[in-house]
Structure 1
């Protein structure tokens, strides 16, 4: 004989409504993976292009955000071409200051408390008088914006892996020159399938001797072997992306034990074809392994998604609780280069977010 059901749900009662969720735009967090030109507002891109009569491709106008893929060299070339076109609208010192201010304002609106913006000065040197002059412009704008907007800010100088490793050494010396004066890290960006990562090790040793955090891109377009090289040969303290370390559990355990943080950018991972959809991004596996993770927007101008949206998409894709999201935000703060007192203050704000009743 069948036993009578003893729950309301089994008896046909209406299911309980889902628990209310806290607003992710008010969750205090750090943003550690944001590229300079890629941080530009779409409206600003259109306005500056119109001002100077620059013809933008349809993918940056009517068809924005563009359909992207990095599955092959042609797909990455198209992505890079769009980025270069966007960079061309930055013509004046005022344009640079505006971009930095708007990036800070957008992050603050998304709950950002600390922003480390990444820039390759050589991409702007010709128009702004050289790499030193451009770097000083960026650092001055960052310092002023940080005070005025009320968000902690710092700069990561990044070399381009499609250029000669000697160029990277020049940029590493530049970064070392401004260590402790607004520059907190040295990175390596662009298509990780290009160049030989180990060839950039001398540049990273220059930055390491200056006490800078080493933050190369790796483990996105290439798999775990790329992560291993970045850790072993470049002494990475944080990894730009690094998401595919999930494919090698032993390497993941090693990365966790070493305290190497991962700058995950889920929306751009899917846009570039690294994963088929947001549910495939292996965030739960990385969290379960104890990885230190900072969600980032990468290039909002090209991917159409800013900081809080990274948390929202991962909440939806993986049914993350507010406690798990708060843990991610706390992890982003810990992975930042903010000082200990500043981190403690941000962490207290995260605790207050969790203690508050959901709206």
Structure 2
């Protein structure tokens, strides 16, 4: 019997704010808001797009429907607190939760109050659960790049160990021209915020090169399509750019036909720093530990390889070196535990 993956210490670096909810959480917030939910959001069947079809718009439509229930300070705080509790149950030592505050600002009096609520609840959730909850502020590709500069300036004002820890760019990779977001990332970088933009899931190596050239990332959300061009992958490895790989997301959005097609082992064998993430559990019905279970069951990784993935997630996090050292030691402890016996 293999070791318990929930007990494996790990860091969670790719999780979106609204998408972090469970169906039960969504239903709870919908009831509080007096909002009805479409059957497709609560039918316990994850979004699944056939390979070769454009599934992003279906995904985005469902996400926007879910976001309607996040219409109060209470709802925002609930999401942060529940995300921390969920991560604690899965052995996560650090959660870097990504949010675009402009989506929630109209309900709480503006951008600054929205971010301040989230940061305050992140601190409370850290104390309550023991999981370090850190906030990544992200702009959206489907909005104007000037909006991203506003978001970046807000993030910069709150940059710091107990504030915003990085700046991202999310949503449809096909939208906009990557270079247009370069000024926003420069604003964030000048404030000491690393760049963690999405790239290389819906689009391939050419798009990834644009992300690297113009946004100077420390990590890339997804980046899995770098496996299609070995030279690019080698360059990412040499530059120390970590990849936040979300296997279940890749399959549910039709990037790969089935879990066994996700090129996780190709990335690992090339020396990439890979951090597994759940992306949007609400729509994919797959949480953090499920990504490790998929790596074990569908991609054939053994416990030592899974432990190394957990180490990679910790190293790629933006936690302090002292905290990283402690969590890495805990991964070693997990491996030293004898494998459970099948005997009853």
Q: Does 1:356 align with 2:337?
A: yes
Correspondence for 1:98 = 78
Coordinate RMSD, CA, aligned: 1.2
CA contact (8 A) 2:50 2:257 kept: no
Q: Secondary structure at the match of 2:197?
A: strand
Correspondence for 2:284 = 303
CA contact (8 A) 2:71 2:104 kept: no
How far off its partner does 1:67 sit? 3.3
TM-score w.r.t. length of structure 2: 0.96
Deviates more, 1:37-46 or 1:257-266: 37-46
CA contact (8 A) 1:297 1:307 kept: yes
Correspondence for 2:318 = 337
String of CA shifts for 1:167-217, please: whole Å, max 9, x gaps: 000011111111104211000000101111111001011111111110010
- Give the number of aligned pairs: 339
CA contact (8 A) 1:157 1:183 kept: yes
Q: How does 1:1-359 map to 2 (within 5 A)?
A: 20-62=1-43, 64-68=45-49, 75-180=55-160, 181-359=162-340
String of CA shifts for 1:70-89, please: whole Å, max 9, x gaps: 8555x322211111111111
Unaligned 5+ runs, structure 2: none
TM-score w.r.t. length of structure 1: 0.92
How far off its partner does 1:68 sit? 3.9
CA contact (8 A) 1:159 1:171 kept: yes
* Larger CA Rg, structure 1 vs 2: 1
Distance in 2 between residues matched to 1:70 and 1:152, nearest whole Å: 36
Q: Secondary structure at the match of 2:11?
A: strand
Distance in 1 between residues matched to 2:72 and 2:181, nearest whole Å: 32
How far off its partner does 1:69 sit? 6.0
String of CA shifts for 1:141-168, please: whole Å, max 9, x gaps: 0001101111111100000001100000
How far off its partner does 1:48 sit? 2.1
Distance in 1 between residues matched to 2:298 and 2:44, nearest whole Å: 25
Distance in 1 between residues matched to 2:25 and 2:227, nearest whole Å: 37
How far off its partner does 1:319 sit? 1.1
Distance in 2 between residues matched to 1:26 and 1:142, nearest whole Å: 23
CA contact (8 A) 1:60 1:66 kept: no
Divergent runs of 4+, >3 A: 66-73
Deviates more, 1:82-91 or 1:279-288: 82-91
Q: Secondary structure at the match of 1:117?
A: strand
Q: Secondary structure at the match of 2:211?
A: helix
How far off its partner does 1:47 sit? 2.1
Q: Secondary structure at the match of 1:169?
A: helix
Correspondence for 1:15 = none
Deviates more, 1:229-238 or 1:261-270: 229-238
